[in-house]
Chain A
Amino acid sequence: KNEVEQSPQNLTAQEGEFITINCSYSVGISALHWLQQHPGGGIVSLFMLSSGKKKHGRLIATINIQEKHSSLHITASHPRDSAVYICAVSSGGSQGNLIFGKGTKLSVKP
């Protein structure tokens, strides 16, 4: 069992739908990252959080430290949101020494 588990692995949604991607982890962490990777592209850091909630545009990330769980929400989804979303945690060491989840592949249909 991975130390960072994401669900679902694959997600297909219709344009406009509200989307939730979940991440659970089993280790103590100093921070949790949500990353986005478009097909054939590099990885973009969306959020880094250690408590509470962050919002950027249509994206919202929440974390519950006690439950070792984080969610990434996308409101009013759009086909351009189609990408792989990756959860990763910093567990001791430097912030960039990350334990990654396997990713959630999101496809938003027009």
Chain B
Amino acid sequence: EAGVTQFPSHSVIEKGQTVTLRCDPISGHDNLYWYRRVMGKEIKFLLHFVKESKQDESGMPNNRFLAERTGGTYSTLKVQPAELEDSGVYFCASSQWGEANEKLFFGSGTQLSVL
């Protein structure tokens, strides 16, 4: 069974450009989460999808970030326009809905560098 996959693994862009990160969760997982770690800081929660619906987007930093999960399968996180402080590692995780012990499965992350 394939795990959670993220693409690209690395992205280097210039300030003001647009970048789109993709996350493919484990097949059948309704929950999908995005997280971010900026250098030197702890990982922070960004948002949570249940299928195609945004359940909780309390961690999204500002309106330059747009997350979608059309069809309830893979998700994209778009940053437009990117700023220097957006640099960091973006992680995605998925889990099955409704399990009492909801184990999270993480991807390897996308390293984003905004120059």
Residues of chain A touching chain B, judged by Cβ–Cβ distance below 8 Å, are 2, 4, 33, 35, 41-45, 48, 86, 88, 93-103
Contacts and interface: CB of A to CB of B under 8 A. Distances in A.
B1 interface: no
Interface string B85-100: 0000001010100000
Place the interface of chain B in its size category: 20 to 34
Interface in B17-45: 31, 33, 35, 41-45
Given A93-B58, A94-B31, A100 B104 contact: no
Contacts of B101: 48
B36 to A, nearest CB: 11
Interface of B: 3-4, 31, 33, 35, 41-45, 48, 55-56, 58-59, 91, 93, 95, 101-109
A9 to B, nearest CB: 12
B104 A96 contact: yes
B58 A86 contact: no
B56 A93 contact: yes
Contact of B102 (A2, A42, A48): A48
Nearest to B97: A94
Given A42-B109, A44-B106, A97 B48 contact: yes
A98 B56 CA distance: 12
A48 B105 CA distance: 12
A102 B56 CA distance: 23
A94 B55 contact: yes
Contacts of A97: 33, 45, 48, 56, 58-59
Contact of B42 (A33, A41, A102): A102
